[in-house]
Every structure is written in C-alpha cells, then in structure tokens.
Chain A
Amino acid sequence: AQSVAQPEDQVNVAEGNPLTVKCTYSVSGNPYLFWYVQYPNRGLQFLLKYITGDNLVKGSYGFEAEFNKSQTSFHLKKPSALVSDSALYFCAVRLSYSGAGSYQLTFGKGTKLSVIP
C-alpha cells in the first residue's frame, strides 16, 4: 500500500533557527513527492516537489526538501525560520495512475509548525 507519514504532530522552533518537518513515504515504483502549506482558514499552497533529478529541491519562501531514497524520506527544511512560517504543513505522495488523467495525491496528516519569536 502506498502511504505517507508525518511523524510529528507539532514542531516548535525559535525564530532564526533552522527548521525541519519530517516526511516518510511508502510507494511502489518511483515516488513523486510534494509539500504544501496551509495557513489558518486558507486553502493549501504548493511549496515544492520532487519528481526526478537532484535530491535537493528548492521551493517557495526559502523552503527546500531533501529526497532520500534509501531512507524513503522527504524532509522539509529552511535555514532560518520566520514567525510568518507558522502554519500547517502537508507532505503528499502521488498514487499510481487512477484515471481521469489524474494521479491522485495522498496526504500525510499534517504537521503544525510554530515559530516562536
């Protein structure tokens, strides 16, 4: 079965410190992996994705993620956290082709990031 796990419900980090939000996955074949962010009372916003190529992927708002095939992980990172980064972060993995020209995503349960001033 294909799945994605975010082991931490909440991550607290001081402003200016580096942050990491963890994600592990289980898929058959090559994974397509995504990170999204959700601010309160808003829809999800795409941050970055790994499809193929360089294991270090850079995305919006200074975020990056490292794909590690041997550890089946795709952790989200940022060198210096901002208070405005406080939000709910979702990791997602593409499922096998499901028809309708689409590849449905399955999401982790989300990690709440709190950046403390």
Chain B
Amino acid sequence: DTAVSQTPKYLVTQMGNDKSIKCEQNLGHDTMYWYKQDSKKFLKIMFSYNNKELIINETVPNRFSPKSPDKAHLNLHINSLELGDSAVYFCASSRMGGAYEQYFGPGTRLTVT
C-alpha cells in the first residue's frame, strides 16, 4: 500500500533523448510536486500542481513539463535531455494548504550519458 510511488526507479539514457517519469499517490491528496536532488543532496522544488493550477519554478528549463491525467498522477516529461539533468527526481504530495506535510516517493535516479 505504497503512498507515493514512482517509476522507473533508475533511468539511464543518452543526451538528446526524451523521457518520462511517472508518479502516483493513493493518499487522496490534492496537490503534487516534483523536486530535483542534485549530487550534493540539495533539494529544489521544480513544480507544484493541483488539478487547477500549475506553478513552475522559474529556474526550471522549459524542456521539463509536468502532465497530470488526474489528481492522483503527476508525470514528468523531459525533452532533449542534457548531462546536467542527471539527478534524483522526487515526486511528493500533500493536502492543500500550508500546514500539511508532504509525502515523498522513493525517487528516480536519472543518469544522462
């Protein structure tokens, strides 16, 4: 009964390819997120999303696009992958509102060669 799941766990691909990472939550949360964790373990928010509104961190390249088929899923699509995209990507979800903690998925380790 995994709360937040991501697939795949590992993703190795070549520069220039397009790839997607899937995320699903079964917590009934309204809001989902994507984070990037770099090699120094620094966590950075990329997107916040509910079924009405998408907030994009201004530093995220437009090669990254979240897609949400329904409120339980938030997939991350990445076009024209670059070496610098190599990182661990975490999906998270929470109830709507600032007082609620976020629940994180296990992460997807993306390696671009």
A residues sitting closer than 8 Å to B (CB atoms) are 32, 34, 36, 38, 41-46, 49, 51, 88, 90, 94, 97-107, 109-110
Judge whether A110 and B98 touch: CB under 8 Å. Answer: no
- A-B CB pair tally, cutoff 8 Å: 76
**Is B101 interfacial (CB-CB < 8 Å)?**
yes
**Is B43 interfacial (CB-CB < 8 Å)?**
yes
Most chain A Cβ neighbours within 10 Å, of B55, B97, B102:
B102
Judge whether B104 and A100 touch: CB under 8 Å. Answer: no
Judge whether A46 and B101 touch: CB under 8 Å. Answer: yes
Question: Per a CB cutoff under 8 Å, which of B54, B101, B107 touches A42?
Answer: B107
Judge whether A43 and B107 touch: CB under 8 Å. Answer: yes
**Is B15 interfacial (CB-CB < 8 Å)?**
no
Q: Which of the four size classes fits the interface of chain B? A: 20 to 34
Give, as a whole number of angstroms, the nearest-CB distance from B23 to chain A.
11
Judge whether A101 and B96 touch: CB under 8 Å. Answer: yes
Say whether, besides A44-B104, A49-B101, A105-B102, A100 and B45 are in contact (CB < 8 Å).
Answer: no
Judge whether B99 and A51 touch: CB under 8 Å. Answer: yes
Judge whether B97 and A103 touch: CB under 8 Å. Answer: yes
A107 to B101, CA, bound (A): 13
List the B side residues contacting A94 at CB < 8 Å: 98
Judge whether B103 and A46 touch: CB under 8 Å. Answer: yes
Judge whether A100 and B42 touch: CB under 8 Å. Answer: no
